[in-house]
């Protein structure tokens, strides 16, 4: 099981929800993944796969078997192909400087609806977008 998660929104270290995972973080690195980032009208972002870049943080976590279920709950991920999922947890590659590392990331479940309900963030950085 992977012990890394890429975060791009409310779980970033500058955001309030980071406190949910702070005690489990062994290492935090500036990183990016391939994808398209949207701001949702609910106060949080979402990502779908795409050719652009999404910027955030790659977190290496301890006690992954404890924290991953908590992250799943926070992100509204209830299991593979569960119809109630808000997000899906998938493996992807994050780039940190010149290194590429396999990681988990939470993607928006319904990639076709996302452009209809969200605002595309061209910079790929939700934190910069929110801080204006």
CATH number of 4-119: 3.10.490.10
Instruction: List phi, psi (to 5°) of 61.
Output: -115, 145
Using CA atoms, how far apart are residues 31 and 48, in angstroms rounded to an integer? 17
Using CA atoms, how far apart are residues 109 and 89, in angstroms rounded to an integer? 9
Using CA atoms, how far apart are residues 50 and 35, in angstroms rounded to an integer? 4
pLDDT, one tens digit per residue, over 91-108 is 999 999 999 999 999 999
pTM for the structure as a whole: 0.96
- The mean pLDDT of the chain is 96
Does residue 132 register a pLDDT over 90? Answer: no
Look up residue 37 and give its two tokens: 């980032």
Q: Which among 34, 43, 46, 35 is positioned nearest to 113, based on CA atoms?
A: 46
Could you tell me the residue ranges of all domains in the chain? 4-119
* H helices present in 1-132, as ranges: 64-75, 114-117, 126-131
Using CA atoms, how far apart are residues 132 and 115, in angstroms rounded to an integer? 21
Beta-carbon-side half-sphere exposure of residue 93 (alpha carbons within 13 Å): 8
> What was the pLDDT predicted at 68?
97
pLDDT, one tens digit per residue, over 15-30 is 989 999 999 999 999 9
pLDDT, one tens digit per residue, over 32-55 is 999 999 999 999 999 999 999 999
Look up residue 108 and give its two tokens: 């928006």
């Amino acid at each position: 099981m992977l012990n890394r998660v890429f975060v791009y929104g409310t779980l970033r270290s500058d955001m309030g929800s980071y406190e949910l995972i702070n005690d489990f973080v062994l290492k935090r690195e500036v990183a990016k993944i391939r994808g398209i980032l949207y701001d949702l009208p609910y106060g949080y972002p979402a990502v779908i796969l795409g050719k652009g870049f999404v910027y955030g943080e790659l977190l290496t976590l301890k006690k992954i078997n404890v924290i991953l279920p908590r992250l799943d709950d926070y992100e509204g991920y209830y299991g593979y192909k569960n119809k109630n999922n808000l997000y899906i947890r998938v493996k992807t590659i994050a780039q940190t400087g010149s290194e590429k590392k396999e990681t988990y990331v939470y993607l928006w479940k319904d990639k076709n609806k996302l452009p209809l309900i969200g605002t595309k963030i061209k910079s790929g950085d939700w934190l910069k977008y929110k801080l204006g």
